[in-house]
């Protein structure tokens, strides 16, 4: 169970945009955090002003991880 939680956090870091597909469209939500309750691990997403809690195995079709420049990277340029 712990390995699965660590794998989920590494695969879906906070700030990543995750695409969810339904029959007709794909909508993207931003990862806000994580929640563990009653033996299940959930990822929290924001969509507009709403927060969703999903188990990801069933729904995800794509992940876009945003890389932010650090001060060190800017100074190096």
Say what the pTM is: 0.63
Query: What is the tens place of the pLDDT at every residue in 33-74?
Result: 888 888 878 888 877 776 666 656 556 666 667 665 555 555
Neighbour tally for 43: CB within 10 Å: 23
Angle made by CA atoms 48, 54, 60, in degrees to the nearest 5: 90
- Residues 29 and 18: their CA atoms lie apart, in Å, by 5
- Residues 58 and 68: their CA atoms lie apart, in Å, by 29
Structural domains of the chain, ranges and CATH numbers in brackets = 2-76 (2.30.30)
- Residues 44 and 26: their CA atoms lie apart, in Å, by 18
- The neighbouring-strand residues paired with 60 are 20
């Amino acid at each position: 169970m712990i390995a699965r939680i660590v794998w989920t956090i590494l695969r879906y870091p906070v700030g990543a945009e995750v695409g969810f597909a339904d029959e007709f469209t794909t909508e993207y939500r931003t990862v806000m955090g994580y929640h563990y309750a009653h033996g299940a691990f959930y990822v929290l997403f924001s969509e507009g002003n709403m927060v969703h809690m999903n188990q990801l195995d069933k729904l995800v079709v794509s992940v876009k991880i945003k890389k932010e420049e650090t001060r060190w990277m800017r100074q190096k340029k």
